[in-house]
Structure 1
Amino acid sequence: MTQAIEEPWGISVFGAGRVRVEPSLARVQPAVDVLEPSPDQAFQRAGAAVGRLREVLRRHGVPDASVSGSRLGLTSEYDGHGGGRTLLGYRCQASYSVETEALDDLEQLIVDMVDAGAHRIDSVEFDVLDKPALRDEARRRAVADARRKAQVYAEAAEVRLGPVLHVQDAEAEPFAAFRVAKAGGPSGALAPGAVEVSAGVLLGFSLRH
């Protein structure tokens, strides 16, 4: 059984492009998380940890504009369920996102944040500064890839490739934007590897005999 080609006007080809670059910044998410018998004690201990954390960041040259965070939040924490539960205390939490371009100093920054009172490091992510320019380069490479494939098909079919008639963006933005490829390194060392930017395109060409 043969399949008919709908609207046989030429050739349609998918192209993919990728750009791999070294990361230019890191995002670290430290968090303060304390449990104390009373709300006052919880606020005081968490506030002191936040103050020390800010001092560490300034000492490492991280400007205040590169730090975003949540307000101190307070919740009651219990053990058990129903009528038999007992109050364990009051948990005070605050989380932050810290951006830094000093990647060579990143490990020491994290160590100092923990020593200053960050009870958790929720994540460490690597990124690049100029995302639009990198994505545009990936798109150019995707177009070149699609054109190369179309040329191969045209030569195999003994026809000539005509001009582009249709361009369709084929990116899956939420899924194909940025990926960190892990690199090898000493045990325990942060190895950011490379940030990979992907793009896809569907090109339609006319054909000439």
Structure 2
Amino acid sequence: MTQAIEEPWGISVFGSGTVRAEPALARVRPAVDVLEPSPDRAFRKAEEAVARLRQVLRRHGVPDASVSGSRLSLSSEYDGHGGDRTLLGYRCQASYSVETEALDELERLIVDMVDAGAHRIDGVEFDVRDKPELHDEARRRAVAAARRKAQVYAEAADARLGPVLHIQDVESEPFAAFRAAEGGGPSGALAPGSVEVSAGVLLGFSLRH
């Protein structure tokens, strides 16, 4: 812990709190990536793959509103360097974010997307709907942890804990993360486990003797 209150009064302590919850949804990031001899052909092949991908999503009950595009690019690709460069073709890439609540069908959805024309899956992220409420509970637990720690220090120093004089939010630290934790659920790469929401706080108390 590198942060500290600079004034030499009382006691300054850090506390962290974590809340775990079952994930309610997943965000999958499929991408189409084609290399063709001409720009028109690259666009056409990418559009065909995207159309097949949309059909798969609709068949799985994923509404269009749950699909958002994040990137579309067209670039020339070469082999070699300098004067020895050879044009390989034109690469068209399109990536999307697909949100679904059907976690039990997630693996089947990903397989069907790849079969339909998604050339890769850039990531799978599990999430919850009530994230603000979970963060609030994590902050309450962080304050309680900091108070317990301060009480132990005060008793060890033969002092009594006074009122709180300083509260510093330290959620910018790495421990204040939102992530899918390991464990829970069936075995396998797509088992979501539980979602962890963490928070940290620095409290300053006065001391009484």
TM-score interval (norm. to shorter)? 0.7 to 0.9
Partners of 1:17 and 1:28 lie apart in 2 by 29
Amino acid at match of 1:164: V
Work out whether residues 146 and 202 of structure 2, in 8 Å CA contact, stay in contact via their aligned partners in 1: yes
Q: Deviations over 1:53-86 (max 9, x none)?
A: 0111111111212111146432222222222222
- Aligned residue number for residue 81 of structure 1: 81
- Aligned residue number for residue 58 of structure 1: 58
SS of the aligned residue for 2:92 comes to strand
Partners of 1:189 and 1:63 lie apart in 2 by 25
Work out whether residues 175 and 200 of structure 2, in 8 Å CA contact, stay in contact via their aligned partners in 1: no
- Aligned residue number for residue 3 of structure 2: none
Partners of 1:71 and 1:175 lie apart in 2 by 30
Residue 67 (structure 2) pairs with residue 67 (structure 1): yes
Amino acid at match of 1:51: A
- Aligned residue number for residue 35 of structure 2: 35
Structure 1 stretches lacking a partner, 5+ long: 1-5
What's the TM-score once normalised by structure 2's chain length? 0.88
Structure 2 stretches lacking a partner, 5+ long: 1-5
What's the TM-score once normalised by structure 1's chain length? 0.88
Structure 1 residues 73 and 157 mapped into 2: Cα distance closer, same or farther (>3 Å)? Answer: closer
Q: Deviations over 1:105-133 (max 9, x none)?
A: 11011001001100111111112222211
Equivalences for 1:57-136 in 2 at 5 Å? 57-70=57-70, 72-136=72-136
Partners of 2:203 and 2:177 lie apart in 1 by 20
Q: Which has the larger radius of gyration?
A: 1
Structure 1 residues 23 and 83 mapped into 2: Cα distance closer, same or farther (>3 Å)? Answer: same
CA deviation after TM superposition for structure 1 residue 158, in Å: 2.6
Once structures 1 and 2 are overlaid, which stretch shifts more, 52-61 or 74-83? Answer: 74-83
- Aligned residue number for residue 3 of structure 1: none
Structure 1 residues 175 and 95 mapped into 2: Cα distance closer, same or farther (>3 Å)? Answer: farther
Work out whether residues 12 and 205 of structure 2, in 8 Å CA contact, stay in contact via their aligned partners in 1: yes
Equivalences for 1:175-194 in 2 at 5 Å? 176-183=176-183, 185-186=186-187, 188-194=188-194
Identity %: 84
Structure 1 residues 173 and 152 mapped into 2: Cα distance closer, same or farther (>3 Å)? Answer: closer
Amino acid at match of 1:22: E
Work out whether residues 177 and 198 of structure 2, in 8 Å CA contact, stay in contact via their aligned partners in 1: yes
- Aligned residue number for residue 199 of structure 2: 199
Once structures 1 and 2 are overlaid, which stretch shifts more, 149-158 or 131-140? Answer: 149-158
Partners of 1:171 and 1:74 lie apart in 2 by 39
Partners of 2:174 and 2:152 lie apart in 1 by 31
Q: Deviations over 1:147-176 (max 9, x none)?
A: 111221222223322221221112226762
Partners of 1:181 and 1:116 lie apart in 2 by 31
